[in-house]
Amino acid sequence: MRTAIALITAAFVAVPAAGAYKNPTPGRALVLQIPGMHRAKVRRNIAYARGLELDVYRPRSAKGRLPAVLLGGNSGFGKGSGQKIGWAQLISASGMAAVAVETRSEHVLTTPQWPAHDFAAAIAYVRKHSAKLGVDPNRLCTLGFSSETAPWPLWATMRDPKPWLRCNVVYYGPLDFADPSLAEYSALTYLRRDGPRIPPMLVVKAGRDNNEGVNESIGRFAAAAGEVHADVRLVTNTSARQWFDIGPRTKSSRSIIRQTLRYLRARLAKPLAIRNRCASAAERSSALRFFTSDDTQVAGVVLGTGTKGIVLAHGSGGDLCDWLPYARELAAAGYRVLSYDSRTRTLVDRNMSAAVEAMRRTGAQRVAVAGSSLGALAAVTGAAALHVQPNAVISLSGPSSYGPLDGVAAAARLHVPVLFVAEEEDQPFAEDARTLYAAATSAERRLEIFPGIDHGVDMLREAAIRTLFETFLFTHLK
């Protein structure tokens, strides 16, 4: 693991000097180059089915089994193309394994099943022979491009989702088809069937794609994903055409490739373990793991069941244990409750936004968010940033700002019921609560300042505040 981390760090520190690097292989076609990426250790021409082969790329000095990205390929864009070699080298230089897969060329109208079934066979082969290939069979992602290779990995991974498939990445490829006979190979088919349970996806669109229908299909897919809160991220290279990853060498194209590598590394990283001693073994096993918009992995404990969800954010220096005793009570009252560990202080808004979407994907149809101290600022700013805001927001002793986080501006963008609570002697937080309330524009906003000096979640030890908190939740989650 340390070797892999060192490889990743070295590779990305070296990127600014990449202009002087000359890749002597066809992999030089890729617009992003990392010095030394061509030195990947490659096992070539491994037969995985009759007449079909794959190549496995690994960092030269890496040991053990690595998470892997499977790259599709057929026709003129197979495993020996400059594009696939470049991506495989780049993935390897980033500390992961890459499997470049050769499939039969499809004729979309008559034999779409060929590359789809070939790719499924390649996945099965890699998992079965993972030890000799040096691949972790429980940490796989796919990467496909255009109509040539994009739809077929999706058929292989979305029709029967498995936990070992961590993500799908699609570059400028069709996500549904106008021809109803091809519905089985449409990603939109499986999104409509499984909703938020589809594997996480990164979809990259070329803004000036001239391949008829591709961008329209991506738009339909993204809209449908947003409606069901599926874990789908859309990135657009606004001025680029299809195949922008192999030219021209623009800053935006290189940036999107870096984002893709970051996304892959995050999804293929080992899951965060819940080690908080406050959590029971059963609670630790119920861990919910999710990712922020900058690909930070976050984990929390989910208690209870049902369609009414509550997301709880702790204050600075705290952890999920701050809320866990009360979370158990809320779960016993019939709520589905998430208490999570926030990963960074100045990005707590992103943690909260991601937590709300993750909670929705567990089956919560109505969601409230509540936070203590800095977690309260996370609740206000994170809720305001969401396209679909939660059903209610509760701030317990929340500051009006922290570093780059502007709670006042966020409060003005909230259009859902919001409750601000503080105790008078807990300054400056009581004044901050008044400031936030004055800035809020929601038709249902409420301010309650109680006597005392308790701060954040500690205020819930008082019966009047606990009753207020629970009544607000009940009112807006019913």
Beta-sheet pairing, 52-58 with 97-101: antiparallel
Reported pTM: 0.92
What was the pLDDT predicted at 106? 62
Q: Are 96 and 265 in contact (CB under 8 A)?
A: yes
Closest C-alpha to 248, from 211, 206, 213, 212: 206
Instruction: List the alpha helices (DSSP H) in 362-460.
Output: 374-385, 407-413, 429-439
Structure-token pair, residue 89: 């080298």
What was the pLDDT predicted at 439? 98
Calculate the CA dihedral of residues 462, 393, 378, 306 and round it to 10 degrees. Answer: 90
Other C-beta atoms closer than 10 Å to the C-beta of 11 total 21
What was the pLDDT predicted at 5? 37
Beta-sheet pairing, 97-101 with 135-145: unpaired
Give the C-alpha separation, 339 to 337, whole Å.
Answer: 7
Closest C-alpha to 65, from 111, 7, 17, 132: 132
Sequence letter at residue 76? G
Give the C-alpha separation, 183 to 114, whole Å.
Answer: 15
Sequence ranges of the chain with CATH classification 3.40.50.1820: 2-268, 281-477
What was the pLDDT predicted at 420? 98
Name 230's Cβ contacts closer than 8 Å, sequence gap at least 6.
Answer: 191, 195, 196, 198, 201, 224, 361
* Residues 235-250: tens digit of each pLDDT: 999 999 999 999 999 9
What was the pLDDT predicted at 227? 95
- Whether the ω angle into residue 35 lies within 30 degrees of 0, i.e. cis, is no
- Whether the ω angle into residue 428 lies within 30 degrees of 0, i.e. cis, is yes
Q: Are 53 and 45 in contact (CB under 8 A)?
A: yes
CATH number of 2-268, picked from 3.40.220.10, 3.30.1960.10, 3.40.50.300, 3.40.50.1820: 3.40.50.1820
CATH number of 281-477, picked from 3.40.50.1820, 3.40.50.11310, 3.30.2390.10, 3.30.70.20: 3.40.50.1820
What was the pLDDT predicted at 151? 87
Residue segments in the chain with a per-residue pLDDT below the cut of 70: 1-19, 74-77, 106-112
